[in-house]
Amino acid sequence: MSHFAQACLFAGLIAASAAHAQEPAVADDPYQWLEDVTGDKPLDWVRAQNARTDAALAATGEFKAMEAGIREVLDSDAKIPGVQKIGDWYYNFWKDRSHERGIWRRTTLEEYRKPAPAWETILDLDALNKAEDENWVWHGAECLRPDYERCLIALSRGGADADVTREFDLAKKAWVEDGFFRPEAKGALGWIDRDTVYVYTDFGPGSLTESGYPRVVKRWKRGTPLASAQVVYEGTADDMYIAAFHDDTPGFERDFVSRTLAFYNDELYLVGADGKQVKVDAPNSANKSVKRQWLTVELREPWTVGGRTHAAGALLAARFDDFMAGKREFEVLFEPTERSSLASFGWTKSHLVLNVLEDVKNRLSVLTPGEDGWTRSAFAGAPAFGTLGVSAVDDDASDAVWLTATDYLTPTTLSLAQIGRAPEQLKAMPAFFDGSRDAIEQHFATSKDGTRVPYFLVRPKDLKADGRNPTLLYGYGGFEISLTPGYSGGLGRAWLGNAHGGRRGVYAVANIRGGGEYGPRWHQAALKANRHRAYEDMAAVARDLIDRGITSPAHLGVQGGSNGGLLTGNMLTQYPELFGAVVVQVPLLDMKRYNKLLAGASWMAEYGNPDTADWEFIKTFSPYHLFDPAKNYPPVIFLTSTRDDRVHPGHARKMAARMIEAGKDVTYYENIEGGHGGAANNAQAAHMQALAYAFLWQRLAGDGQAAK
């Protein structure tokens, strides 16, 4: 579940975090020394905890079998190779057992239709790492039209958000000697033309925002020093992220500057040929995008424009040139209801495809602009249930789309569809576990304030409602991210299909407030001072599982990562009586200092500013401060990564250390690589996942363990 922007400054952020870590430990935080990310003393503590965890969980044959099963899924060459059309070729980045860091490869559409396409390797990261004695992780490529000979490739050390950008020659399949190169930094390069790029990165002192992201964007000419690049736009220190990009759509070439002030608060500027910037005067809270002649505005707050008030969650369209000339005539393409929200939308050459969530179930429709306005039609052949994803194959040249479909028990399929025709299935993932014995249900729990909160349940068809079924409840509840059904071979093998004492695991996913399942209102209902609603929703789902007899506290576990780690940290500290085990992954936990650690300052629009009066409500959901040594807590495992330069590993380290000293049942494991995803390769990912499942089975499959 990935949840934040990709491109960060590793060197600068680690330096910043080290500076924070050198602050003397204060009386109310004797564990602050653990914020020193790569310090000898903290890493000695980490290694000691890792050794204890591996000894307790990873030494059995059962663990090794589980880990191998997950690794087999991750390494499988039967996974669907998702492709991106670049020129006449279809490119894919692929990892398996033989390619731990992955290969960038390409094929033709004719080959891709075959069960076993012939691929041409363009770049082998494992070979590159060996040659350069590095540990590069792929962060993506941007290739320059129309000939697509040159690409800007981003690579990260160890999976951190921070990356470098290097210029690559596709024809020669080699790095461009003396080509464009951006040193390791938070930011990116983007093509303008063959000899010019936009660059936003760490240009030295004062060039980053307080969140650690780029504050300055420049135009850089080939063959000139980076230091001489021309400033295009300069934001302020309390902005979040400054960027620029060139729209190379034939006939509609334009340049834009993006100024992100905070999450869901940004300004978009059109850059003229003279360099002058004109603001696209739509609300800062709205998602603004331009495609060919159209401006689309996805509202997050009500907006009165053209004599009409539009609801939050609506999608509007206007002709871009007319809008910039002052006209305010919009066509309403989508209006939300109490049960529906816009999940996404995407252009093809002639159409706009809407993907709508109705009670967390995807529904597709097609809009077509014409001389007399927009017409609507159904998307032919879309599945009736499951998570659906639609993306254009080539939005400038055709009306073909890729259609993916999946649910918790159905392996993902990939189809090629021409708008208006039945999809042609091209690929299907294999079944990594037997899902025929299970059923998917949707239920609604009632939260403390009466709100109906949906959740999905995956259970054995022959489940006995005796309250003894090991059950894993997963949640996130933040940043307007929706949790929809998806197939996981690892989850299926390690939890759903893993019999312990004659029982198989039950899995539940909570669609709590803070997420985007019902659009902006669902997210905004749990912001800042209302954060408690997300936690009340999660607790309500847990109680509903218990009341239905599906499980009981001794057999109920809860899991979440990142913002979801903050969620499970609050389940641990505020609702310990509901759970028999808690999994906390790459978490935020110390909400007093979160804005001073790595990218934390960029999330104040979500949580508030603890250096102001906001602390009065933030402290009510700061697990590090809610912990009480005198209280009983369920067993907990903390999983994080040293190389996470987004959410500081100090959160998990400090919370674990505090609880261990108080004699609580705490398990801790920190991967030395991996970035915010926790692992840099499949072996590490399999080990981390297996540790979580082994911990859950150990704590939930028996008669329950006494809380401490």
Per residue in 78-113, pLDDT (tens digit) is 889 999 999 999 999 999 889 989 999 999 999 999
Residues 195-202 have a mean pLDDT of 98
Residues 697-706 have a mean pLDDT of 76
Residues 618-631 have a mean pLDDT of 98
The residues pairing with 245 across neighbouring beta strands, listed in sequence order, are 256
User: What is the reported pLDDT for 3?
Assistant: 31
**Res. 143 pLDDT band, cuts 50 70 90:** very high
Residue 207 falls in the annotated catalytic set: no
435, 430, 444, 7: which is closest to 198 by C-alpha?
7
Question: Is the pLDDT assigned to residue 438 strictly greater than 90?
Answer: yes
User: What is the reported pLDDT for 708?
Assistant: 72
Query: For residue 31, is it left (φ>0), alpha (ψ between -120 and 50) or beta?
Result: alpha
User: What is the reported pLDDT for 159?
Assistant: 81
**Res. 22 pLDDT band, cuts 50 70 90:** very low
More confident residue, 478 or 706: 478
User: Per the residue annotation, which of 415, 482, 562, 641 is the catalytic one?
Assistant: 562
Question: Is the pLDDT assigned to residue 334 strictly greater than 50?
Answer: yes
| Dist CA 568 CA 635 (whole Å) | 12
| Dist CA 421 CA 352 (whole Å) | 15
Secondary structure in 3-state letters for 296-347: EEECCCCEEECCEEECCCCEEEEEHHHHHCCCCCCEEEECCCCCEEEEEEEE
Question: Is the pLDDT assigned to residue 674 strictly greater than 70?
Answer: no
**Percentage of the chain exceeding pLDDT 70:** 94
**Contact residues for 479 (Cβ-Cβ < 8 A; gap 6+):** 3, 4, 263, 514, 523, 563, 606
Quote the distance between the C-alpha of residue 121 and its chain's center: 28
Question: Is the pLDDT assigned to residue 24 strictly greater than 50?
Answer: no
| Inter-residue contact 521 to 472 (CB < 8 Å) | no
DSSP string for 537-568? HHHHHHHHHHHTTS--GGGEEEEEETHHHHHH
User: What is the reported pLDDT for 380?
Assistant: 94
User: Per the residue annotation, which of 555, 651, 676, 687 is the catalytic one?
Assistant: 676
User: What is the reported pLDDT for 464?
Assistant: 95
Measured in residues, the chain has a length of: 708
**Angle ∠(86,89,90) on CA atoms, nearest 5:** 80
Quote the distance between the C-alpha of residue 470 and its chain's center: 27
User: What is the reported pLDDT for 673?
Assistant: 56
Q: How high is the mean pLDDT of the chain?
A: 92
Residues 603-609 have a mean pLDDT of 94
| Inter-residue contact 45 to 35 (CB < 8 Å) | no
Residue 562 falls in the annotated catalytic set: yes
| Dist CA 430 CA 79 (whole Å) | 7
**Where along the chain do its domains lie?**
31-72+433-700
Largest separation between any pair of C-alpha atoms in the chain = 73
177, 97, 102, 195: which is closest to 141 by C-alpha?
102
Segment among 52-61, 142-151, 667-676, 696-705 with least mean pLDDT: 667-676
| Dist CA 269 CA 244 (whole Å) | 9
Residues 133-160 have a mean pLDDT of 95
User: To which H or E segment does residue 628 belong?
Assistant: none
Question: Is the pLDDT assigned to residue 686 strictly greater than 90?
Answer: yes
Q: Is residue 587 reached through a cis peptide bond, with omega within 30 degrees of 0 on the bond before it?
A: no
User: What is the reported pLDDT for 645?
Assistant: 64
| Dist CA 245 CA 257 (whole Å) | 7
| Dist CA 450 CA 163 (whole Å) | 46
626, 568, 572, 622: which is closest to 592 by C-alpha?
622
Question: Is the pLDDT assigned to residue 396 strictly greater than 80?
Answer: yes
User: What is the reported pLDDT for 503?
Assistant: 75
User: What is the reported pLDDT for 703?
Assistant: 57
User: What is the reported pLDDT for 18?
Assistant: 30
Per residue in 243-299, pLDDT (tens digit) is 999 999 999 999 999 999 988 899 999 999 999 999 999 999 999 999 999 999 999
CATH code at 31-72+433-700: 3.40.50.1820
Residue 182's CB: how many other CB atoms inside 10 A? 23
**Res. 236 pLDDT band, cuts 50 70 90:** very high
| Dist CA 51 CA 48 (whole Å) | 5
| Dist CA 168 CA 245 (whole Å) | 19
Per residue in 519-562, pLDDT (tens digit) is 999 999 999 999 999 999 999 999 999 999 999 999 999 999 99
Tell how many helices (H) and how many strands (E) occur in the chain. Answer: 15, 39
User: What is the reported pLDDT for 160?
Assistant: 81
Residues 500-517 have a mean pLDDT of 91
607, 599, 601, 565: which is closest to 582 by C-alpha?
565
User: What is the reported pLDDT for 675?
Assistant: 47
Residues 367-392 have a mean pLDDT of 94
Segment among 4-18, 50-64, 145-159 with least mean pLDDT: 4-18
| Dist CA 573 CA 165 (whole Å) | 42
Per residue in 481-498, pLDDT (tens digit) is 999 999 999 999 999 987
| Dist CA 36 CA 40 (whole Å) | 9
